[in-house]
């Protein structure tokens, strides 16, 4: 059974090949996980944690978490992956990640809520909403929006908020990261629904106006695959996270 098709003098995986590759990757991940678990059982103070996390958690939460954990377990190693929610779920499903910091809560996985991020409307500093104490999302229905690509969890939440507000605003650009959205807002390209930033990470050229909608929030949580036992080092990190809640103020 051929696994490749020839296209313009090049070989490309066909459907059969893609199926085999998918299962091969899972098999390799399982063998690797088993080897690591045996090594960690022999020496529980070492081991490797494969941690995936959202782009938005890369600036402060994950680095701070790793700093605090490494003070307690300095010999534990990390393999880190930064990506979108759908990429993170895929890695958990196929065994390429042990733990993940993500949002929204993925179906079929273990979950521990960590903290809640309020969402706001980012606008240029000279915008008519910039000096408001709060704004209804419906009032921004005619504004051009900068948003994340449709596969991102925050974009899906934004779509839900638009639907609740009864608006369908024009999307002028679909970004891959929140800082890109904020930069384009500051440049006057449009407005955006983003998590309320920490003061030191706020875009100087943007104003962040709280939304009145009670549903304008997202929960960040720790998740893992219930069908796959956590390696000792990953279990240790999970326990550390649960016993050491993080202050998001």
Contact between 153 and 193 under an 8 Å Cβ cutoff? The reply is no
Could you read off the pLDDT of 157-209 as tens digits, one per residue? 999 999 999 999 999 999 999 999 999 999 999 999 999 999 999 999 999 99
Same-domain check for residues 160 and 211: yes
Give the pLDDT of residue 48: 93
Same-domain check for residues 108 and 223: yes
Same-domain check for residues 99 and 181: no
User: Does residue 249 form part of some domain?
Assistant: no
pTM of the model: 0.78
Backbone conformation region of residue 62, classed left if phi is above 0, alpha if psi is from -120 to 50, else beta: alpha
Query: What average pLDDT score do residues 2-16 get?
Result: 77
Same-domain check for residues 212 and 235: no
Cα 142 to the center of its chain, rounded Å = 29
Domain ranges, residue 239: 4-112+219-243
For the ranges 56-60, 117-121, 149-153, which has the lowest average pLDDT?
Answer: 56-60
Question: What is the token pair recorded at 240?
Answer: 């550390």
Q: What is the CATH classification number for the domain harbouring 166? A: 3.40.190.290
DSSP letter (8 states) at residue 178: H
Q: What CA–CA distance (Å, rounded) separates 66 from 78? A: 9
How many residues can be counted in the chain?
A: 249
Same-domain check for residues 108 and 226: yes
Same-domain check for residues 212 and 225: no
Q: Which residues have C-beta within 8 Å of that of residue 108, sequence separation ≥ 6?
A: 226
- Strand locations in 183-249 (E): 192-195, 206-210, 217-224
Q: What CA–CA distance (Å, rounded) separates 113 from 218? A: 10
Query: Percentage of the chain surpassing pLDDT 90?
Result: 76
User: Does residue 136 form part of some domain?
Assistant: yes
Q: Which residues have C-beta within 8 Å of that of residue 25, sequence separation ≥ 6?
A: 94, 96
Query: What average pLDDT score do residues 18-34 get?
Result: 80
Q: What is the CATH classification number for the domain harbouring 91? A: 3.40.190.10
Same-domain check for residues 125 and 198: yes
Same-domain check for residues 68 and 168: no
Same-domain check for residues 24 and 65: yes
* Mean of all residue pLDDT scores within the chain: 91
Question: Residue 72 is inside which H or E element, if any?
Answer: helix 61-72
Give the pLDDT of residue 24: 82
Give the pLDDT of residue 40: 61
User: Does residue 149 form part of some domain?
Assistant: yes
Confidence of residue 247 (pLDDT cuts 50, 70, 90): low
Number of compact structural domains in the chain:
2
Beta-strand relationship, 77-83 and 48-54: parallel
Could you read off the pLDDT of 95-106 as tens digits, one per residue? 999 999 999 999
User: Does residue 248 form part of some domain?
Assistant: no
């Amino acid at each position: 059974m051929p696994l490749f098709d020839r296209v313009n003098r090049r070989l490309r995986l066909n459907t059969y090949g893609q199926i085999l590759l998918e299962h091969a990757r899972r098999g390799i991940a399982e063998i690797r996980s088993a080897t690591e678990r045996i090594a960690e059982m022999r020496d529980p103070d070492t081991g490797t944690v494969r941690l995936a996390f959202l782009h938005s958690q890369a600036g402060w939460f994950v680095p701070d978490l790793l700093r605090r954990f490494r003070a307690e377990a300095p010999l534990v190693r990390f393999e880190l992956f930064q990506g979108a929610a759908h990429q993170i779920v895929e890695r958990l499903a196929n065994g390429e990640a042990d733990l993940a910091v993500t949002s929204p809560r993925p179906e079929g996985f273990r979950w521990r809520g960590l903290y809640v991020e309020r969402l706001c409307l980012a606008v240029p500093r000279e915008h008519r909403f910039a000096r408001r104490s709060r704004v209804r999302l419906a009032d921004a229905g005619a504004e051009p929006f900068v948003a994340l690509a449709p596969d991102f969890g925050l974009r899906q939440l934004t779509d839900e908020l638009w639907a609740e507000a009864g608006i369908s605003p024009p999307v002028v650009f679909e970004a891959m990261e929140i800082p890109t959205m904020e930069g384009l807002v500051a440049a006057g390209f449009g407005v955006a629904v983003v998590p309320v930033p920490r003061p030191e990470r706020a875009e100087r050229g943007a104003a962040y106006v709280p939304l009145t909608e009670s549903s304008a929030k997202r929960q960040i949580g720790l998740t893992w695959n219930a069908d796959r036992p956590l390696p000792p080092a990953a279990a240790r990190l999970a326990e550390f996270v649960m016993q050491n809640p993080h202050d998001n103020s």
